[in-house]
Amino acid sequence: MPTIDREYFYRIDTQGYLYHDRTLLTDLKFLNFFFKRLQPNTTGLHADFPYVSPCGREMNYIACAGTPIVFHALEDDYLYYNHTGLNVAFDPVSLCINPRGDLFHPTGKMHGRLGAGPLYTLAGRIVETDDVYTLRWHAVQYAIPECAESLA
């Protein structure tokens, strides 16, 4: 692991907003840079910050309420996350549900939780029958399985 000259500590709230020292960060260029580098914290340092976003010789440690990726909008078959402009193609086959009823979708490197915006969009299209959830999307019915891994 390269030498770390500086450490910074961030928090992501349940809506997917990023904060540093209780200040909401809104600069899209910074947010995109930050979230593109998001990964699990394998440094062995600051275990209460389970994610990091490395930047050269700086390490940004991240704590979050559940998962660091929160999808805030579903538009034109794309899920947008963390108020950044970053998105992934929405694939109903990739949805899963945890025991608390939260829906998750992969981003490529990790799963993100669907926030209020996408849930509102999908609400009338999800049906529960005998403890099995299905989503009707573009005239096709998709089963929503339980998540294979433990997701917050």
Quick one: pLDDT at residue 57? 93
Residues 80 and 133 both lie in one domain: yes
Does residue 97 belong to any structural domain of this protein?
A: yes
What is the pLDDT averaged over residues 141-150?
90
User: What is the pTM for the complete model shown?
Assistant: 0.92
For every residue of the chain, DSSP letters joined together read -PPP-EEEEEEE-TT--EEETTEE---HHHHHHHHHT-EE--SSS-TT--EEEEETTEEEEEEESS-S-EEEEEETTEEEETTSS-EEE--GGG-EE-TTS-EEEE-SSSEEEE-HHHHHHHGGGEEEETTEEEEEETTEEEEEPBPSS---
Q: Which two tokens stand for residue 101?
A: 């009823």
Residues 38 and 90 both lie in one domain: no
Final residue belonging to a domain, choices 64, 97, 112:
64
* pLDDT tens digit sequence for 81-140: 999 999 999 999 999 999 999 999 999 889 999 999 999 999 999 999 988 999 999 999
Contact, 81 vs 29, CB < 8 A?
no
Q: What does pLDDT average to over the chain?
A: 94
Quick one: pLDDT at residue 86? 96
Q: What is the CATH number of the domain that holds 59?
A: 3.10.540
* pLDDT tens digit sequence for 34-63: 999 999 999 999 999 999 999 999 999 999
Whether 149 shows a pLDDT value over 80: the answer reads no
Residues 84 and 132 both lie in one domain: yes
Residues 89 and 139 both lie in one domain: yes
Question: Which residue segment(s) compose the domain that 36 sits in?
Answer: 6-64
> What is the DSSP pairing of strand 96-97 with strand 87-89?
unpaired
Does residue 105 belong to any structural domain of this protein?
A: yes
Residues 91 and 35 both lie in one domain: no
90-95: list long-range contacts, CB under 8 Å, 24+ apart: 92/135, 92/137, 92/140, 92/142, 93/142, 95/135, 95/142, 95/144
Whether 2 shows a pLDDT value over 70: the answer reads no
In the chain, how many domains are there?
A: 2
d(CA 36, CA 3): 21
Does residue 93 belong to any structural domain of this protein?
A: yes
Whether 1 shows a pLDDT value over 80: the answer reads no
Residues 59 and 116 both lie in one domain: no
d(CA 66, CA 60): 18
Does residue 120 belong to any structural domain of this protein?
A: yes
Whether 4 shows a pLDDT value over 90: the answer reads no
